Chains A and B, each alone.
Chain A
Amino acid sequence: MNTVAAPRKSLSAVGSPDPKRQIDLYRQMLRIRLIEEAIADHYAEGEMRCPVHLSIGQEAIAVGACAALETSDKVYSTHRCHAHYLAKGGDLKRMMAEICGKAAGCVGGRGGSMHLMDIPKGVMASIPIVSSSIPVAVGSALADKRMRNGKVTVAFFGDASVEEGVFHESANFASLHKLPVIFLCENNLYSVYTRIDERQPNRPLTELAKAHGMHAAHGDGNDLDECHRLSVQAVERARNDQGPTLLVLDTYRWREHCGPAFDNHIGYRAESEFKDWEQRDPIRRYRERIGAALDATMESTMSADIMAEIEDARAFARATPLPDPGQATRHVYA
C-alpha cells in the first residue's frame, strides 16, 4: 500500500536556510531561552503563582516546526507550552501577564502557564492532560479538510503521550482520513521523573506510526535545521493531501519537570547524562553553525533587545491589574 506519490519538489534536498533566515531562527531560540531563564530567575518572587513547565533545552523543536508553518496554520500544545506559544508568534506580554494571573493575560488569568493560547497566531490551545490535546488537533485538521482551506495543524506532545490510548485513537483516525495534521513527539526521555525505558519497550517510536499506516520521521531535536527540514516535509505532505506524519524528535529537558530549578541531584537521572545533553545545547550548536554571519556587535544588540523586551513584558505583567473576582463566573457558556 506504499503508493504515496513523491513530493512535487524535494525540500529534504534543501540545505540550511540562508544566513539571514538562520540568524532569525537563532534569535527566536535565544529569545525563548532568555524568557524562560527570566521566569526561572524571578519565580521565587512569588508573582508567578502557578506551576511552570520550562522548555529550556528543547527550543529547537518549537522554532524549527513553527518556522515551517504559516500564521494561519494551527498548533495545539501541552502543559509545557511556552516555547510553542512563542515560536508560533504568541504575544509575550500577554503570556507573562497570564503566568502572573492578570486580567490582561492571554486567557484572562483562567489558565496560567499551562493553558497558553493566542488564536490569531494559531496557538489554538494548550491542554495539560497528557495526550488530551491530540484528538482536538486531529479534529481541527478534520474541520480544515472538510472546509478545504489548506491549513495544517501540529499537535505537540511528549514521549509519554504515546502511552495513552487516545494517541492511538487519534493516529488511527487521522491516518484513515488522511488528515492534514502532524503528530510531533518531543522525546525528552522522561515522563516527570520516570525514564522512557521503564515505561516503554525498546523500539523506535516511529514504529508506532507504521502500526497506524502513517508516515514517520525521526531526527535530532537539538538540531534546528533538522527539526525545520523534517517539519517542512511533514507540512508539505499534509498540504498535499498525503496525510499525517509522526515526527519524533529527540531532545532533553534541562530543568525539573515542573518548576524553575535544576534537579540532577535528586537521583532520578545522572548529572553526567545532563552534561552530555548540555554539550548538545541546540542554541550553542546553531550559533556555531551560523559562524561569522552574526558578528559580535549584532549579537550583543540582539541579546540586549531581547532582554529589553523581556523586562518590558515583566514590567507590564507586574503593573497590569488582577482580574475582577466578578469575572470568574463569565464564559461558562458561550
Chain B
Amino acid sequence: MNAVAQGHERVITLADAIREGITESFAKDDSTFLFAQGVSDPSSMWGTLKGIGNKFGEDRVIEMPIAENGAVGIAIGAAIAGQRPIISFHRVEFALLAFEQIVNNAAKSSYISNGQHKVPLVIRMVIGRGWGQGPEHSQSLEPLFAYFPGLKVVMPAFAADAKGMLIAAIEDDNPVIFIEHRFLHYSTGHVPEGYYKNALDGPRIVREGKDVTIVATSHGVLEAMRAADVLHKIGCSAEVIDMRVLRPLNVAPIVASVSKTGRLITVDTGFVRFGLGAEIVASVMTEVFDALKAAPVRLGLPDHPTPSSRGLIPGFYPDSQRIVREAGKILALDQVKVDSALKELDIQRKDLQIDQPDPFFKGPF
C-alpha cells in the first residue's frame, strides 16, 4: 500500500501511529503545539495523546477550555501568526460548535487575504460508532467539512497512512480536517519509524481488480477489502480504492478504475443522501458515462439519526455483506455463489455484537 511501509515488520495500532505522527512533528518543529480537552485524561484520546505533555512540556500541550469555537478561532489566529497548532475533538459533534470559525475563518483566510494569510492548522475529529454512542456521539459528518473550498479533508484507513498523512497535514500550509474513525484506532499495521510524509493527494488503489470498483472511506475501506476477499473466492475481481482525501477531490483514479471495470460501488461512513457517494457518483458519471455497465450503487447510512440500542442498529451500517450483495446484483453473479460468500462472512463474524469493533479488522493491514 505504501512504499515506505513495505518490508517493515513493526506492527502498531493506528492510535499509536497518530501519536507518533504528533511526536515526530513536535520534535522537528517548535512551532507545533496541541490543543485538546482532557489532555491529562488517562485515556488520552484512544492513546493518541499519551505522554506527549510529559515529553514536550505544558506549553506544547494546551488544555482546551470547553469552548470549541473559541479554541478553533484561537488556533486560527496562532496559525496566521506563524504557529502550527493541532486541535483534537473527541467527537465530531463538538466540532459543530466551532463550525463558524472553521467555515468563515479557517477555510477563507487565504482566499480573502488574496494569499497574504496562511492557516497551517490541523483539526482532528473522531467519527464512528459503537457501544451505544447514539445520535449525538457517533455521527460521520465529513461531507459538511468537505463542502467548503479552502479546507482539506482527509480520512486515513491504515495506520502507516494515518501517521504519514498526519505529518503531511501538520506541514501543510492549509487547514486540514483530519478525520479518524474510532473503530480504526484499534486496528494495526506495519508503520515505519521516524518522520515521513504521505501526500494528501487523493485516492489510492489498495486492491487491484477488473470487474467492479469499490470506492470507500476510512473504516469502509476495511469492509470493502473484506468483501473483495470473499468476492475473489467466487470469481469476482473487485478493485478497492481508499479515498484518503475528500477535499481537494481527485476523482481521476476513480474515473480510470471505472473506465476499466464499468461498475461502481461507493461505501462511506456518512449518510447516503447528500453524501460523499453522491459527489463521487456524479463526478464519475459526468466523465465516463459510456463506460458504465450498470447503475452505480451508493452505500452509506439510512435517512435517520443513529439510535443507541443495538436492537435498532442492525442494517444501519454498510458492511462487507451488503457490499457483496450489491456487487452480486450489478454483476449478475450466480446467487448460490453469492450466498456462499455471504455465509463465509457470517462465519467470520461469529456472534460478534454490532456495537463492538470487529476483531477481524484488528489487522495488521
Contacts and interface: CB of A to CB of B under 8 A. Distances in A.
30 contacts: A107-B113, A111-B112, A125-B109, A125-B113, A129-B100, A132-B73, A135-B77, A136-B77, A136-B80, A138-B70, A139-B80, A139-B81, A140-B78, A140-B81, A143-B81, A146-B33, A146-B83, A165-B67, A166-B101, A169-B69, A170-B70, A172-B65, A172-B70, A173-B74, A177-B62, A331-B115, A333-B152, A333-B173, A333-B248, A334-B174
Interface string A102-146: 000001101100010101000011010100101111111111101
Interface of B: 33, 59, 62, 65, 67, 69-83, 100-101, 104-105, 109-120, 149-150, 152, 173-174, 248
Given A142-B77, A142-B78, A135 B69 contact: yes
Nearest to A172: B65
Contacts of B78: 139-140, 142-143, 146
A83 B118 CA distance: 25
A139 B79 contact: yes
A298 interface: no
B67 A333 contact: no
A125 B117 contact: yes
B110 A334 contact: yes
Q: How large is the interface on A (under 10, 10 to 19, 20 to 34, 35 or more residues)?
A: 35 or more
A6 interface: no
A332 B72 contact: no
A142 B74 CA distance: 8
A110 B111 contact: yes
B154 to A, nearest CB: 14
Given A138-B74, A142-B78, 15 more contacts: A108-B114, A115-B112, A125-B117, A129-B100, A132-B104, A132-B105, A135-B72, A139-B79, A139-B80, A147-B82, A166-B73, A170-B73, A177-B62, A332-B111, A333-B174
A143 B83 contact: yes
A108 B110 CA distance: 12
Contacts of B109: 125
Contacts of A147: 81-82
Given A127-B104, A135-B72, A333-B174, A140 B110 contact: no
Given A169-B65, A169-B71, A132 B100 contact: yes
B116 A136 contact: no
A187 B331 CA distance: 68
Query: What are the 9 A-B residue pairs with the smallest beta carbon separation, nearest first?
Result: A139-B77, A135-B73, A169-B70, A169-B67, A143-B81, A139-B74, A136-B77, A108-B114, A331-B115
Interface of A: 76, 107-108, 110-111, 115, 117, 119, 124-125, 127, 129, 132, 134-144, 146-147, 165-166, 168-170, 172-173, 176-177, 330-334
Nearest to B119: A334
A137 B70 contact: no
Interface of A is mostly: helix
A166 B65 contact: no
Contact of A119 (B71, B72, B116): B116
Nearest to A332: B149
A17 to B, nearest CB: 30
A293 B116 CA distance: 42
B110 A333 contact: yes
A177 to B, nearest CB: 8
A333 B69 CA distance: 22
A166 B119 CA distance: 20
A107 B112 CA distance: 7
Which among B74, B111, B116 has the highest number of chain A CB atoms within 10 Å? B74
Nearest to A119: B116
A124 to B, nearest CB: 7
B115 A330 contact: yes
Contacts of B173: 333-334
A132 B72 CA distance: 11
Nearest to A106: B114
A334 B77 contact: no
Nearest to A170: B70
A294 B96 CA distance: 56
Contacts of B248: 333
Contacts of B105: 127, 132, 136
A110 B149 CA distance: 15
A176 B58 CA distance: 14
Nearest to A165: B69
Contacts of A117: 113, 116
- Looking at B105, B118, B150, the one whose CB has the most chain A CB atoms below 10 A away is B105
Q: Which of B62, B77, B80, B149 has the most CB of A within 10 A?
A: B77
A146 B59 contact: yes
Nearest to A328: B111
Contact of B112 (A110, A138, A140): A110
Contacts of A172: 65, 67, 70
Contacts of B83: 142-143, 146
A97 to B, nearest CB: 12
Given A139-B76, A169-B69, A107 B150 contact: no
B74 to A, nearest CB: 4
Given A143-B78, A144-B81, A333-B150, A132 B71 contact: no
Contacts of A140: 77-78, 80-81
Contact of B76 (A136, A173, A177): A136
Contacts of A146: 33, 59, 78, 83
Nearest to A105: B114
A169 B72 CA distance: 11
A173 B71 contact: yes
A166 B70 contact: yes
A122 B161 CA distance: 39
A115 B79 CA distance: 19
A244 B111 CA distance: 30
A138 B73 contact: yes
A4 B69 CA distance: 29
A139 B109 CA distance: 14
